[in-house]
Chains A and B, each alone.
Chain A
């Protein structure tokens, strides 16, 4: 059969690391940066906003409403709105993904904080923790499992969403998809999907590991 095989391994070998822009390895690095930044930036933005929503409950309803709207907007048109401001750069992709991350993480922070039993908080106050120390050493630590669960969702979806950026030439591994489509050649698409899914699994696994390290009490309880 002279039909095109699904994967041509020699193509992968030739294009893995050519040292030029567009090699698979350089796209992988781009992809990690473009999906990693929104995760980190999203967490940094969501923490103070989420804490503010816990402190002033009235803020939460409107904030959650805005976040719901942001989350509902498809990524491609949002990229397009940014195009006049940021052009065909990585920022055009990173900024919307950061917003999505914030939209998912704010409820996670709020849920995590409100799930802390009041008696725990009271006893921290009673033992003389000042507000900042209580926040850092008690509240945030106890809210961690819920926040990390939100972070897992954010990490996996950011990694897969970056690829849409390929439609403006900034998609990390997603560029392999447009490449495959233009050349009517499936191998790059298969490679892209495989690497993106693998990257998502690694990130997810790393966060699960992190969660186990940071919340030993949950682990003990589970094994008991």
Chain B
């Protein structure tokens, strides 16, 4: 506890390139820089595979492999091979590891939509893309958001570990603190990372509330007629 007070009350930790605001922003940047491309790749792919039913094996294999791959090892290897001249090499494993959870859940979400629902949608004269956008995606949305949430957990954790291979962000406090036996910094950094991770979760919980139809989440509420 004393370490925490020491860390957070030190004015040096609140300014400059290694200050908390800057580190926090860096962490947010890395998280988004990994999550956005991963989502842009995984969501359309998951929709496509779920909708057409083709390529399901890729989904299953990628999910298992991603879970088995040690993030630290991947980061070390890629930095040893590609160097740290830019931040790009470190981003690669971040993106790659974020793809499978989004892919799996998007695919499962689409595939899990009741067959009757699909049948009714086509039977009423919706075209393929309309069925996907107007029916399948809204119904699968809770799972798609779950995939994004799991990917965010993964990315926040990996971005923290990535400080070991010279990435900036909140992980620096932990890694640098460990190296210099500066325990206030280690614990302070840990609190910041934990808080960051939970804030992300809160954001996703909010997105769930706002985006998922009450008819799907079964929250009992009477909708207003727009």
Contact = CB atoms under 8 A, between A and B. Distances in A.
Interface of A: 6, 68-69, 71-78, 80-81, 83-84, 153, 156-157, 159-161, 163-164, 166-168, 171, 173-174, 176-178, 180-181, 184-186, 189-190, 192-193, 196-197, 200-201, 204
B197 A83 contact: no
A53 B22 CA distance: 43
A156 B174 CA distance: 26
Contacts of A180: 76-77, 80
Closest 5 pairs between A and B when the two form their complex, measured CB to CB: A77-B190, A74-B157, A200-B68, A163-B70, A80-B190
Nearest to A4: B80
Contacts, number: 127
Interface string B178-205: 1000010011011101100110110000
Contact of B160 (A74, A163, A176, A186): A74
A84 B184 CA distance: 11
A80 B174 contact: yes
A23 B191 CA distance: 35
B165 interface: yes
Interface string B43-68: 00000000000000000000011011
Interface residues on B, range: 35 or more
Contacts of A190: 77
Given A160-B68, A160-B69, A193-B77, A168 B178 contact: yes
A161 B175 CA distance: 17
Nearest to B75: A177
Given A177-B72, A189-B77, A153 B191 contact: no
Given A160-B69, A180-B77, A76 B153 contact: no
A77 B73 contact: no
B105 interface: no
- With most chain A CB atoms within 10 A of its CB, the pick from B64, B189, B190 is B190
Given A74-B194, A184-B80, A159 B68 contact: yes
Given A163-B73, A184-B80, A201 B68 contact: yes
A161 B197 CA distance: 17
